[in-house]
Amino acid sequence: FTRLDEYNILILGLDGAGKTTLLEKIKHLYTGHPGMAPNRIQPTVGVNIAKIPMKRTLVKFLDLGGQPDLRGIWESYYEDCHAIVFVIDSCNAERIEEAKGALLGLVKAGDLDGVPVLVLANKRDLMGALSLAEVKEMVNSMADFMEERDVRVLDSSGLEGEGVRAAVEWVYSRII
């Protein structure tokens, strides 16, 4: 008997970006657990966790609260973090600068040097969403801070599930 290797993936982003909805969808897709009904999901205060066995590993997804006064807690999770999923509400053009600032804070954090980052342009099912190209452009504008980092931009609907498996698979392929 050998213990499964454990990996931690942080799901970060502004409040309302869709982190908890995404976590519930991941749980549902990978464990068959029905997950919480989307209309019962409350803003995250603290942390929601899903531990999911994948191949010969155990992957722990941690969804941390994204309200400004909760973002300080993110740092305490950086040390054990193997990858980050940064969720962006691609329908909320007004908060895109704020999201960019939060992402920039992450890539500048010393404890996260070299940690792969998936930027997820979420809510792609809605009209008026920023395009994937626009989110890529935003990430490209931070190239000076990304250096050698493994970064990918994908889109998703955490609500409907499109793109969720592709997102998890990209992250998994980076941590193993």
Interacting residues with ligand GDP (CB under 6 A): 13, 15-21, 38, 41, 43-44, 66, 122-123, 125-126, 157-159
Q: How far is the CB of 113 from ligand GDP (least distance, A)?
A: 25
Q: Which is nearer to ligand GDP, 112 or 164 (CB)?
A: 164
Q: How far is the CB of 14 from ligand GDP (least distance, A)?
A: 7
Q: How far is the CB of 89 from ligand GDP (least distance, A)?
A: 7
Tell me the backbone φ, ψ of residue 30, rounded to 5 degrees.
-100, -15
Q: Which is nearer to ligand GDP, 2 or 37 (CB)?
A: 37
User: Three-class SS string for 113-161?
Assistant: CCCCEEEEEECCCCCCCCCHHHHHHHHHCCHHHHCCCCEEEEECCCCCC
Q: How far is the CB of 88 from ligand GDP (least distance, A)?
A: 10
Q: Which is nearer to ligand GDP, 57 or 165 (CB)?
A: 165
Closest CA to 164 of 60, 7, 25: 25
Contact (CB, 8 A) for 42 and 36: no
